[in-house]
Amino acid sequence: MAIEFSKEETVIGRTLSDLEKYGSEGTGYLGKVVISKGERPVLGRRIRIDLARPHVILICGKRGYGKSYTMAVLIEEFARLPIALQNRISVIVIDTVGIFWSLKIPNKFNTSLLEEWGLKPQSTNARVLVPKGTLSFYQEKGIPVDASFTIKASELTGVEWMALFRLTWKDPEGVLITRIIEELKEKMGTYFGIDEIIKAVEVDKEADSVTKQALINRLRAAKTWGLIEKTGTRIRDIARPATINIIDVSAYRQAIGMEGIREIIVALLGKKLFEERMLYRKEEEANLIKGERRVSEMPLVWMFIDEAHMFMPKDRESIALQVLLEWARVGRQPGLSLVLATQRPEKLHPDFLSQCDLFISHRLTAGPDIEAVGILKPSYLYQDLAKYYEDMPRGKGYALVLDDNSEKLWLIKVRPRFSWDAGVTATAFTV
């Protein structure tokens, strides 16, 4: 049972004891409850969503019904939390499409809709980070970039190099890169870049020259991505507290053979953040025991991933998959939240579905997708999930919300964005 502490609003994603203790503090304004039938239904009380505790949230729905939009609404709410809470949280958005930078720009295009809701256009303070070698791509498109980042070469394991190049143990280059990386780490520690790896391959005595040349070609190509360097960006400079950090990897979207790069970025970020949070969680608990406040330098992290099926597919190996599953399974303890959006829940690894505690679904019509989300089968539904989808208004921004914390289902309309939606009119900005 959810308790309703106010007639005006309801909080989802929060347990009864947290509701009693904190009320609606540390929540974000997500939308309003739909209280009548039809295509332009009456909207009722405001729905707020818990942002203070870790969650695993899945947003799904058909193409163009509002997944990315809903993500942006959630992200906007982090920037509007009380500053003390903001300081404890870092938001990381993995942007594969290149649409979230426009959070910085107030929504001047749809002011009438905002007015209807009693809201005003506003910008959201976000920091756009791009891989160092892709800066010119963003400059040409007029996308405002705040900083660039690189990955430290020695942080990649042999297996990760293989994943980056889409190699397996059956490929001689795969075997070679793993051995070379091991040898380099022994000889040089953590201070080497792609040039040193190429040199090590060149002087290798065991591999044949065709394999060596093939690997060197791949390494040279990797150099042109401008992502992997001797010294990388520190994870704490990426996951800054009180900041919305948008990791825009859309420059790698079109290029064939570059799928591995996005996966490596997510896998390494996810891995490092997990390790750091585990360490700091201990420090925070120790502080609490000493009677001090539960704080440390490393904030809680919320990672947003749009088009998540790219990283967590059920039918193919992905180096990011294991890391993200770990986040979903045990991330709540160290304070790691995941918000994933996908058009095709059916294509997502099923373990992820079973771990999510908040499920926000825009319109779905494909049978396999509805079946896939049927795995959630909460006991608090009184009819088939498919039936709820049939009854949903056809417009954009409507969503079914399943909340395991309060064990309730809601039909809501997501509020309009404060910021400009680059998803619709991205071309208008290049002039």
Ligand X SMILES: Nc1ncnc2c1ncn2[C@@H]1O[C@H](COP(=O)(O)OP(=O)(O)OP(=O)(O)O)[C@@H](O)[C@H]1O
Which residues of this protein are in contact with Mg ion, per CB under 5 A?
67-68
Binding mask 57-76 for ligand X (x = CB under 6 A): ----x-xxxxxxx-------
Segment 325 to 344, residues that bind ligand X, using CB under 6 A:
343
Q: State yes or no: residue 260 binds ligand X (CB under 6 A).
A: no
Q: State yes or no: residue 416 binds ligand X (CB under 6 A).
A: yes
Q: Choose the one of ligand X, Mg ion, none that binds residue 61, judging by a C-beta under 5 to 8 angstroms depending on kind.
A: ligand X
Q: Which two tokens stand for residue 61?
A: 């729905």
Q: State yes or no: residue 50 binds ligand X (CB under 6 A).
A: no
Q: State yes or no: residue 361 binds ligand X (CB under 6 A).
A: no
Q: Which residue is nearest to ligand X (CB)?
A: 397
Q: State yes or no: residue 54 binds ligand X (CB under 6 A).
A: no
Q: State yes or no: residue 423 binds ligand X (CB under 6 A).
A: yes
Least distance in angstroms from the C-beta of 277 to ligand X: 29
Q: Choose the one of Mg ion, ligand X, none that binds residue 48, judging by a C-beta under 5 to 8 angstroms depending on kind.
A: none
How big is the CA angle at 72 (ends 57 and 64), to the nearest 5 degrees?
85
Q: Which two tokens stand for residue 385?
A: 């999930």
Q: Choose the one of Mg ion, ligand X, none that binds residue 152, judging by a C-beta under 5 to 8 angstroms depending on kind.
A: none
Segment 169 to 228, residues that bind ligand X, using CB under 6 A:
none
Q: State yes or no: residue 397 binds ligand X (CB under 6 A).
A: yes
Least distance in angstroms from the C-beta of 421 to ligand X: 5
Interface residues toward ligand X, by CB under 6 A: 61, 63-69, 343, 396-397, 414, 416, 421, 423-424
